[in-house]
Amino acid sequence: MVQIHQAKRPPFKRYIEDPFVGLVVGIICGIMWLLPLPMARAMGSGIGRIIYYFAWNRNKIAMKNMSVGLPDKTEAEHREIVKKMWRHFGMLFAESAHGSEVLKQSRKVNMGLARKAQQEGKGGFICTAHFGGWEFDVAKLVGPDFHLNPVYRKANNPWLNKILFERRPGVKIPKGVVGARLMLETLNKGDFIAILCDQKLREGMEIPFFGKPAMTATAMASLAIKKGAAILMVKGVRGPDNIYTFSIEKRLEIPKELPYQEAIKAIMTDVNNLYWEWIKKNPEQYLWIHRRFDKSFYTE
């Protein structure tokens, strides 16, 4: 068993704030689980509406990101998208307590691409973004013997880790050196890894995101080149009826003719470009609140 070590939390956070936040989130999750799905969605949407009025700093980050990602829209349109974003993710949080029901209702497209990649025996990546229904285990739509091992960033609050992450199936792969080793072991078994590549990292490679240079994680591309693993781009879009359509959009080409570093750049450029296509069509379903670009961009 690989042990993941975290920095020690200050006493107040460790003994008072963290348990309190964990208790509140746990109670809300329990209520969502008890409610019928439509009522849970309505409650989640309401929570999202409330969060909008308190998340001033995150809203500013979202507005700044949209100035790059959606330059053709006005500031008022950006603000309306932020409001809809919070409502969408409030509903997504509520729906996660009814995952099996949500997936049973959903529409699926091109799932055969995953089955075909599985038969090759080299493993691969199910790559998406913080977009639409990214919280759901789409492996269940492929088949009972198709399993995903999620890459995740460990929450600072250990109570939230237990509630939100540790209950998920598969090998939980933390970001960092330990995670890189676990990813390699997973691919060697012919298994698949669920990964999101739309957040900024200190390391990686500078790749355009919304047409603006942004540090981008390259582990997925590097391992795909070295191991011959598949990269399947998957999105789940919420429809007007709140039914998701999950689709494998494409299997990325691995450019074998390019030098190693150029091949990595080509793959991750394809990933970022595809993200942008998805987001422009349904901007309210993207989590705009991450600092995706250099810190100086947000202080201008």
Contact in structure between 196 and 179 (CB atoms under 8 Å): no
φ, ψ at 138 (rounded to 5°): -70, -10
Q: What is the CA radius of gyration of the chain?
A: 19
Q: 3 in a domain, yes or no?
A: no
φ, ψ at 2 (rounded to 5°): -80, 130
- The pLDDT of residue 178 is 82
Q: 2 in a domain, yes or no?
A: no
Average pLDDT over residues 47-71: 97
pTM of the full predicted structure?
0.91
Contact in structure between 134 and 236 (CB atoms under 8 Å): yes
pLDDT of 169 higher than 70: no
Q: 165 in a domain, yes or no?
A: yes
Neighbours of 64 (CB within 10 A): 19
- The pLDDT of residue 3 is 38
Domain ranges, residue 266: 11-299
Q: What H or E segment, with its residue span, contains residue 233? A: strand 230-238
Q: 151 in a domain, yes or no?
A: yes
Lowest pLDDT segment from 51-55, 113-117, 166-170: 166-170
Q: 279: exposed, middle or buried (C-beta count within 10 Å: 0-12, 13-18, 19+)? A: buried
- The pLDDT of residue 1 is 34
pLDDT of 2 higher than 60: no
Three-class SS state of 67: helix
Q: 160 in a domain, yes or no?
A: yes
Separation of alpha carbons 81 and 78, rounded Å = 5
Task: Dig out the tokens for 173 from the structure.
Answer: 């792969």
Q: Please give the residue that has the higher pLDDT: either 8 or 67.
A: 67
Q: Please give the residue that has the higher pLDDT: either 245 or 5.
A: 245
For the chain, the average pLDDT equals 91
107: β partners = 245
Q: 238 in a domain, yes or no?
A: yes
Neighbours of 113 (CB within 10 A): 19
pLDDT of 201 higher than 90: no
Q: Please give the residue that has the higher pLDDT: either 162 or 233.
A: 233
pLDDT of 82 higher than 70: yes
The residues, any chain, with a CB within 8 Å of residue 27's CB and separated by 6 or more, are none
Look at the alpha carbons of 255, 258, 263, 269 in this order and tell me if their dihedral is positive or negative. negative
Percent of the chain with pLDDT over 90: 75
Q: What H or E segment, with its residue span, contains residue 213? A: strand 212-216
pLDDT of 218 higher than 80: yes
Q: 247 in a domain, yes or no?
A: yes
pLDDT of 32 higher than 60: yes
Q: 16 in a domain, yes or no?
A: yes
Separation of alpha carbons 135 and 247, rounded Å = 14
Separation of alpha carbons 257 and 163, rounded Å = 45
Task: Dig out the tokens for 257 from the structure.
Answer: 């003719």
Q: Please give the residue that has the higher pLDDT: either 201 or 206.
A: 206
Q: Based on the structure, what is the number of domains in the chain?
A: 1
Look at the alpha carbons of 225, 128, 126, 183 in this order and tell me if their dihedral is positive or negative. positive
**Confidence label for 4 from pLDDT (cuts 50, 70 and 90):** very low
